[in-house]
Structure 1
Amino acid sequence: MTLRVYLFVFKSRGYIHIVNIFNQMSSDGVTKYKYEYIIVGAGTAGQTIAAGLPSKDVLILEAGGYTTSLLDIPILTPILQKSDFDWSYETVPQPNSCLGLRQQRSRWPMGKGYGGSQILNNMIWNVGHHEDYRGWFSPEEDYNYERDILPYFRESEAEHQPTILKHRTKLAEAFMNATKEYGYDDSFKVPHLTQRNGKRWNMAHENHENNLSHHLVLNAFVMHLLFDRTSINRVTGLVYEKNGFEFEILATKGVILSAGAIGTPLILLSSGIGPKKELINTTVTFRKDLPVGHNLQDHVTTGLDLILLNDTLGMRPWEVFTLNSFYQYFVNGDGPLTMNGCEVVGFLNSTNKSKNWDLGFMVLPIGASADAGIHFKQILNIKDNTWSQYFDPLTSQQSVSILPILLHPKSRGQITLKDDVILIDPKYLTHEDDVDLIVTGIRIIEQLIEMPSMRRLGAELNPKPFPGCENYEFASNAYWKCYVRHLTLTAFHPVGTCKMGSSDDQSSVVNREFQVIGIENLFVVDASVMPNLPSGNPNAAVAMLAKKFLSVLLQSHREKPTNYDI
């Protein structure tokens, strides 16, 4: 079985690499040197903005290439990590966390291709809690969810048309029943996904089907912005590299950065926009002192292979990749290949100290051990000895992962530029409250697996002590704190590195009209502008932000039309 899995992964990665080689050979390029708008990034935000801009004179630059329909098979999502369609970012070593990972570094996958991170995310559509967005577009005391937020979610939801997860295992029903047996009513649900007929779907598919007429250049890496020679505070265009050549392109009405929570601050820092005390020590020409890269936040989780069952769920690789599964997928748009990896999500307020949720949960019907260490071990960056001692013995067992998620961490990280290299330091678990809350989530999971519905599946905690935590009493608070610091995992939701707020807020990079503060013609619309993490998966919030930006831009055009001549 292990050999079959290895061959499948090897052939898939080879196929992906061939697809990217053909992408690199494509000869697409700009047809002129000046456009009204330039959008950087063809992900959720960039694609939404491109479809709604009041102009057809738009250039979209994307650092990656096209994927193929085979890569729209949801179950293949992990294969895309560490492939040519992944930026494959890594954090700097974490002194207080990630102790069970190689060099104590967390790997951060991020989409590099037409569709952005939506080509490799879990497709979950969740708008979060209404309190998540207080203060985003208006002062906190003036916040009105129905006025400020809800209309834009409704617009984006109508566009994405999320549908409920089609394929579920017996674990989903058992866990949902267990939550009700414990006393939770509507806190746990089967997720809605951005799928069409069981296939991965995103705004890139929509724009392609609608023959969006904007000019698109793929495999174009944006190096830095260009500024007006007579006004250092007005952006006139940018420089990008493609196939070893550099090109200068002008924008008469605006450059819109939608390159994500890592890519966008990298472009700003490389253009001299960022913390002065950091940039003056680089080779970059300093232009504007703003806290670019600060306020980094991420949903932190743990719990891989935390639960063992005495029943099989049919989701291990050799059980999924069968002729019948492919028939179900390609003929009926159903079956295990449509699975995104998560079949139940939950959100709780564990303390009742605020109006908002503080803990999330994801139920995965497999563990990291499911592929015998061929791929999951690599993309999660798990240490060899940790794998051999803890995960490898589970290869022949049915393990599942019920993940507690820290929704609103108190720890804050930072992205910096050093020697032209981006350094990502999320500072995971530097605030002790973050550790305590994740342990609270584990305690809730302990209670839920004791419910009759989960007991019927033979659910139990994995009794194997986690490597590095053997000296603590198993399942004690001290043990779980050690466990969390060793198996510290990203939920792949970094945000906040170009915080949005009022123009006089010293912690803000972007104002509430999405303009980089003090810089004309430059806008940021992506997860980097989020002042705080939404409770749910950020993709829906990114789509909402793009709709809000279009509304702001249209209003601005009506009030004061711009007609710059560069």
Structure 2
Amino acid sequence: MVSVACPATVLLCYLAWHLPKLIDQQQEIGSLFPPFRIFDGERYDFIIVGGGSAGCVVASRLSEISDWKVLLLEAGGEEPPQVDVPAYTPFSWETSVDWQFQTEPHEGYCGGKSCTWNAGKVLGGGSVLNGMIYNRGNARSYDAWKKLGNDGWGFEDVLPYFKKSENNGDPPIAANSRYHAVGGLLNVQRLPYQDKNAQLIVEAFRELGYTSVDINGGTQTGVTLLQFTQKDGSRMSTNRAFIEPFRDGRKNLKVVTNVRVTKVLIDPNKKTAYGVEYAWEKHRHIRGKVYANKEVIVSSGALKSPQVLMLSGIGPRSILSAAGIDVIEDLQVGQNLQDHVSMPGIVFKLGEKQQTLSSNQKVLRDILEYARHHKGPLSGTGSLEASGYIKSRYADQAIDYPDIEYTLLPQVVINTSLGEIRFTTPFPEYNRIMFKPTVMLAKSIGYVTVQNKDPFLQPIIVPNCFANIKDLNAFIDGCNFVAKNLSNTKVFKDVGVSLDTTPLPNCCHVEFGTNDYWACLARKYTYTGFHYSGTCKMGPDSDLAAVLDAQLRVRGVQHLRVIDASIIPTLGNSNTNAPVIMIAEKASDMIKEAWK
């Protein structure tokens, strides 16, 4: 990881320092008045636990049926306007809109310490905090789900649900109607401001023989200028896309924020879910219950959904009994935790002409341009706009299924000696680029569990990064490609882009650029891809580890489903926001069909 100090640009420093505080203040103000008298004891047809990437979609789609009363409960607050500026993305991390989960320390990763796992605690969930990248992943990922016995989840089955949401704003891409669509609620397109170094990166990959591709089309291996979930230079979370247009107009849809669901109410004799118990997030002694006529739907994400289920008596018997929780159904909840693991330690220094740091005067112009027209540098994300997808030597070379993705983080770097990553400027203001290779077909499996029956404690998270040596080997390949191939391209050399060979402190005893050095970085400076999934996986009856069936119903419990990234049986080679939206679209149709 890399430490950055604040440059002389005073206004940028002001933004970096005050935006997170402003976000926190807004969330605090929004949580002052408990809404418990508004809905305590009420009945709804559907109660959705969690207003994240999935929950917002499900609430929107189910409330299309005017006869159904839908309640959406979110532990976080309303989506603050500051997060909608693409350039300000990192300023929302580790604020009150972030759960700021901590993993369990382990000597094999994160330098033996806890790693922070960011996750959205806000209406819109992860789609409010993420980099807005729209990446569905490879068709083979979904075909693998079907081969595991999940009928209806192959690529051809799920493609219509990707397209159902999509309103693609880039005509050359939208013209490929096999893979893309227009008219959906979710706007997808390239950012209004195209960073000059993003195009430079594309040219460097192309010099090495990689073609420009639409990663959401028929070919994935190559280099791309990404598409984002944004509209007119503003972030489009699932809250903005699926809830806001209908929140006031649909009288059958109620959205309540700052309320934490502490357990699902389940009749232990009939094994039927009939409501939820909740607490006001800022006044936890204030509790209540609401009831569901049809279903309770848990959409709290791959780290919180298993916790909610276990607190409700659904999970491994040994764990629940030890926590003092009465067991209703013995299922492998919380197992099968998967993520895309990475390491932000390969940094390129930019020549003077490629640096994008601005004077105070230009910063002010940029702010005004964005405020008036949602254009200019603040409508972009710097070098993050480009990405490359390659195959390590451990991938199948005969097929198009890349296992390495490069996330290209813009950085302002003054001192690289501390081994920490801090963002002190908006994304488009930077003097270095961090190449973050990510292992996209990771095989290491972790787990999530509860500390005890206290619903206000964070879950125990054990990611087991690099437990499977194949992940480490693929990661080393990804590092070598950057250090040995990309760094030597004529495109980079011509403009003075060079690899920073300063070793990070915890690995300075190892020669920079060797396999041992990359392995050291992986172990000492482990970084999550923020793509947590798999902890309530779906599977056939023959799969004793499956928590859900292919309809996403909890096994052994009626009227209870899970709809979010936790249902994924095997994590594919994509970011998770687009797949989760697809899962929510498909599941909503399943529910409509079930209840007709």
Could you tell me which residue of structure 1 aligns to residue 91 of structure 2?
79
- Deviation, 1:445, is 1.1
Residue equivalent to 2:19:
12
Cα deviation for residue 138 of structure 1 reads 6.3
What is the rounded CA distance, in whole Å, between the counterparts of 2:570 and 2:23 in structure 1? 35
Q: Which secondary structure does the structure 2 equivalent of 1:403 belong to?
A: strand
Is residue 2:69 matched to residue 1:57? yes
2:315·2:329 contact (CA, 8 Å) conserved in 1? yes
CA contact (8 A) 2:136 2:579 kept: yes
CA distance in 2, matches of 1:215, 1:541: 25
CA distance in 1, matches of 2:542, 2:378: 50
Name 1:218's counterpart in structure 2.
257
Please say if residues 503 and 517 of structure 1, whose CA atoms lie closer than 8 Å, have aligned partners that are also in contact.
no
Q: How many residues align?
A: 536
> Residues of 1 paired with 2:102 and 2:132: CA distance?
22
1:141, distance to aligned residue in structure 2 (A): 10
How far has the Cα of 1:524 moved from its partner?
0.4
Alpha-carbon spacing, 1:138–1:478, altered in 2? closer, same or farther (3 Å): closer
Change (3 A) 1:317 1:96: farther
In the alignment, which of 110, 113, 117 is matched to residue 108 of structure 1?
117
2:102 maps to a residue whose letter is E
Change (3 A) 1:506 1:465: same
Structure 1 counterpart of 2:130, from 110, 116, 121: 121
Aligned match of 2:238: 203
Given that residues 496 and 528 in structure 1 are in contact (C-alpha distance below 8 angstroms), is that contact kept between their aligned partners in structure 2?
yes
152, 165, 173: which one pairs with 2:191? 165
Change in 2 beyond 3 A, CA 1:209/1:387: closer
Q: Which residue of the partner structure matches residue 33 of structure 1? A: 42
Q: Go from structure 1 to structure 2 and tell me whether the alpha carbon gap of 1:114 and 1:504 turns closer, same or farther (over 3 Å shift).
A: same
Task: Confirm or deny that 1:337 pairs with 2:382.
Answer: no
Indicate how the Cα distance of structure 1 residues 181 and 140 shifts in structure 2: closer, same or farther if over 3 A, else same. farther
Given that residues 137 and 148 in structure 1 are in contact (C-alpha distance below 8 angstroms), is that contact kept between their aligned partners in structure 2? no
> CA offset at residue 217 of structure 1?
1.2
Match of 1:190 in 2: 225
Return closer, same or farther for 1:220/1:332 CA change in 2, 3 Å cut-off.
Answer: same
Secondary structure at 2:406 match in 1: strand
Deviates more, 1:139-148 or 1:47-56: 139-148
Q: How many angstroms apart in 2 are the aligned matches of 1:218 and 1:424?
A: 25
Query: Which amino acid in the other structure matches residue 274 of structure 2?
Result: T
| Alpha-carbon distance in structure 1 between the residues aligned to 2:547 and 2:195 | 45
Change (3 A) 1:505 1:170: same
- State whether residues 146 and 153 of structure 2, in contact with CA within 8 Å, keep that contact through their aligned partners in structure 1: no
Deviation at 1:17, TM superposition (A): 2.1
Equivalent pair of 1:169/1:313 in contact (CA under 8 Å): no
One-letter code aligned to 1:180? R
Question: Could you tell me the TM-score, scaled by structure 1's length?
Answer: 0.89
C-alpha distance after superposition, 1:24-70 (max 9, x if no partner): 12443443521110001112211111111135301110001113323
**1:410 shift after superposition:** 1.2
- Given that residues 339 and 442 in structure 2 are in contact (C-alpha distance below 8 angstroms), is that contact kept between their aligned partners in structure 1? yes
Cα distance in 1 for partners of 2:13, 2:208 equals 41
Output the CA distance in 2 between the equivalents of 1:228 and 1:140: 30
What value does the CA root-mean-square deviation take over the aligned residues? 2.5
Partner of 2:432: 399
Distance 1:318 1:501 in 2: 56
Q: Please state how far the C-alpha of 1:526 moved relative to its aligned partner.
A: 0.3
Q: Distance in 2 between matches of 1:106 and 1:309?
A: 29
Look up the equivalent residue of 2:327 and give its one-letter code: F
CA distance in 1, matches of 2:205, 2:358: 28
Deviations 1:397-452 (A, max 9, x none): 93211111100111111101123441111011112111111110111112012111
Deviations 1:368-394 (A, max 9, x none): x37x79xxxxxxxxxx95359xx9xxx
- 1:542 is matched with 580
Counterpart-to-counterpart distance in 1, 2:91 and 2:129: 9
CA distance in 2, matches of 1:397, 1:230: 60
Taking the aligned partners of 1:28 and 1:365, their CA distance within structure 2 comes to: 41
Aligned-partner Cα distance in 1 for 2:155–2:520: 42
Aligned to 2:31: 24
| Match of residue 94 from structure 1 | 106
The corresponding residue for 1:377 is: none
Residue identity matched to 2:133? I
Q: Which residue of 1 aligns with 2:3?
A: none
Letter in 1 for 2:134: W
Gaps of 5+ in 1: 374-383, 559-566
TM-superposed deviation, 1:317: 8.2
- Whether 1:48 aligns to 2:85 is no
**Within 2, Cα distance between the matches of 1:335 and 1:415?**
42
Separation in 2 of the partners of 1:364 and 1:141? 36
TM-score, normalised relative to structure 2 = 0.85
Residue among 468, 490, 495 paired with 1:431: 468
Q: Quick one: which amino acid aligns to residue 333 of structure 1? A: H
Determine what percentage of the aligned residue pairs are the same residue. 29
**1:291 touches 1:507 (CA, 8 Å); kept in 2?**
yes
Shift of 1:284: 1.3
Q: 1:239 to 1:327 in 2, by over 3 A?
A: same
Letter in 2 for 1:365: P
Check if 1:350 corresponds to 2:392.
Answer: yes
Change (3 A) 1:448 1:90: same
CA shift for structure 1 position 149: 1.4
Q: Rate the CA distance shift 1:319–1:339 in 2: closer, same or farther, 3 A.
A: farther
Q: Which residue of structure 1 aligns with residue 488 of structure 2? A: 450
2:404 to 359, 372, 375: 359
Q: CA deviation at 1:81?
A: 1.2
Task: Determine helix, strand or coil for the equivalent of 2:419.
Answer: helix
**Residues 1:150 and 2:156 aligned together:** no
Residue 376 of structure 1 is matched in structure 2 by none
Alpha-carbon distance between aligned partners in 1 of 2:538 and 2:561, rounded to the nearest angstrom: 11
CA separation in 2, counterparts of 1:193 and 1:116?
Answer: 16
What amino acid sits opposite 1:543 in the alignment?
I
In structure 1, the residue matched to 2:314 is 273
- Which AA in structure 1 matches 2:186? H
How far apart are residue 153 of structure 1 and its match?
Answer: 0.8
In the superposition, relative to structure 1, how do residues 144 and 515 fare at CA in structure 2: closer, same or farther (>3 Å)?
closer
- In structure 1, the partner of 2:176 is none
